[in-house]
Amino acid sequence: MAQVNLRKVVKRFGDVEVVRGIDLTIADKEFVALVGPSGCGKSTTLRMIAGLEEISDGDILIDGKVVTDFAPKDRDIAMVFQSYALYPHMTVRENMSFGLKQQRMAKAEIDTRVDEAARILNIEDLLDRKPKALSGGQRQRVAMGRAIVRQPKVFLFDEPLSNLDAQLRVQMRTEIKRLRQKVRTTTVYVTHDQVEALTLADRIVVMNKGRIEQIGTPHELYHEPQTRFVAGFIGSPSMNFIPAAIEQRGDKLALLLKDPDLSFEIPAERHNRYAGLAGRSDLLLGLRPEHFSAAAGEPRPGHGQFETRIDITEPVGIETFVYFVLAGTEICARLPPTAGAQEGKPLRLAADLTQMHVIDPVTGLVV
């Protein structure tokens, strides 16, 4: 049982507050990813949990115990660094057993644990090598091995895959997931790559400017973002934001776009949600690229059709990203290669309004 609690944790560097009083509870055996743009405070938060960074205010609890003033060595955590941080003068085996030796564990037990971890990570052949004789992916495995053998209460990962090339990164991501099935330990994983967060985590914490924007499962963050920031940050290519107005028309609500002037009927199930916005013309319509499709025949219920001219097409094999301008904003849509999009040519598209989000730019919140 190793829960991690952050209570109103603040970190200041001089006058600059980089983490601004965050509250977070990570359940036992849960895998939580901290994501956000660089400088959002995610790495600092992780380092505070590790004890590598002092906390300016607030408390951190591991396993119900306040560890705020504990040295890293007394927190029973293991950490995987972006740079791997393998000890260059030690072999792989020595690297992996270093932490256990500090605990004065019996040699037989150390060997058992190292061999077991090496087996899980498939690095048995590398145990006698020095780090400089390893490839990036192998170093990454050793770094994880060094964490596993400790059998700590909490695993901390600080952008562990950022130094790998794209192909290896995808491979190691799967490795981490596989490892997770074998070793279930409370994990905090920092990344700026939202795909990593979405694929690995049980829950994701999106951070921005030192604050938590939203905490949720990958599904919740993707489909029910609460702020404009989260809506734009999660998903790739990111969500389109289109200036729009909402108007009451009889007992129906209409969504109005300018340039060209378009008017779509808002699906009935969203009426209650958006009723209060009728008459506002400063809103943003949020639509993900995959919620556009090539229009065929009469509009389906909840879909709005419009004619546009395609500027750019980016075929990536299974799908094509097409770019066009709507309401003065560049829009990205994901279409099947068969949709017939051609650069410079007109195309009739449909927007799936049952998936729409409306953002109030004043509060930055998704309505």
Provide the minimum distance between the beta carbon of 154 and another protein in the complex, in angstroms, as a whole number. 11
Residues 6+ apart with CB under 8 A from 84: 131, 139, 140, 142, 143, 163
Provide the minimum distance between the beta carbon of 79 and another protein in the complex, in angstroms, as a whole number. 5
Residue number with CB closer to another protein (129 or 211) = 129
Residue number with CB closer to another protein (142 or 239) = 142
Residue number with CB closer to another protein (45 or 214) = 45
Residues 6+ apart with CB under 8 A from 184: 29
Q: Which stretch binds another protein (CB under 8 A): 97-105, 198-206, 221-229, 310-318?
A: 97-105
Site string for another protein, 102-141 (x = CB under 8 A): xx---------------------------xx---------
Binding flag, residue 86, another protein (CB under 8 A): yes
Q: Which stretch binds another protein (CB under 8 A): 31-39, 49-57, 202-210, 302-310?
A: 49-57
Among 85, 168, 365, 367, binds another protein (CB under 8 A): 85
Binding flag, residue 237, another protein (CB under 8 A): no
Binding flag, residue 79, another protein (CB under 8 A): yes
Query: Applying CB under 8 A, what is the total number of residues that bind another protein?
Result: 27
**Binders in 165-224 for another protein, by CB under 8 A:** none
Among 70, 81, 321, 323, binds another protein (CB under 8 A): 81
Provide the minimum distance between the beta carbon of 286 and another protein in the complex, in angstroms, as a whole number. 39
Residue number with CB closer to another protein (96 or 253) = 96
Convert the chain into a string of H (helix), E (strand) and C (coil): CCCEEEEEEEEEECCEEEEEEEEEEECCCCEEEEECCCCCCHHHHHHHHHCCCCCCEEEEEECCEECCCCCHHHCCEEEECCCCCCCCCCCHHHHHHHHHHHCCCCHHHHHHHHHHHHHHHCCHHHCCCCHHHCCHHHHHHHHHHHHHCCCCCEEEEECCCCCCCHHHHHHHHHHHHHHHHHCCCEEEEEECCHHHHHHHCCEEEEEECCEEEEEECHHHHHHCCCEHHHHHHCCCCCCEEEEEEEEEECCEEEEEECCCCEEEECCHHHHHHHHHHCCCCCEEEEECHHHEEECCCCCCCCEEEEEEEEEEEEECCCCEEEEEEECCEEEEEEECHHHCCCCCCEEEEEEEHHHCEEEECCCCEEC
Residue number with CB closer to another protein (130 or 280) = 130
Residue number with CB closer to another protein (52 or 183) = 52
Q: Which stretch binds another protein (CB under 8 A): 75-83, 109-117, 306-314, 315-323?
A: 75-83
Binding flag, residue 98, another protein (CB under 8 A): yes
CA dist., res. 179 & res. 189, Å (int): 14
Q: Which stretch binds another protein (CB under 8 A): 23-31, 65-73, 216-224, 356-364?
A: 65-73
Provide the minimum distance between the beta carbon of 81 and another protein in the complex, in angstroms, as a whole number. 5
CA dist., res. 65 & res. 310, Å (int): 59
Residue number with CB closer to another protein (99 or 237) = 99
Q: Which stretch binds another protein (CB under 8 A): 82-90, 250-258, 281-289, 290-298?
A: 82-90
Binding flag, residue 250, another protein (CB under 8 A): no
Residues 6+ apart with CB under 8 A from 133: none
Q: Are 102 and 73 in contact (CB under 8 A)?
A: yes
Residue number with CB closer to another protein (89 or 182) = 89
Interacting residues toward another protein by CB under 8 A:
50-52, 71-73, 77-79, 81-89, 98-99, 102-103, 131-132, 146, 150, 156
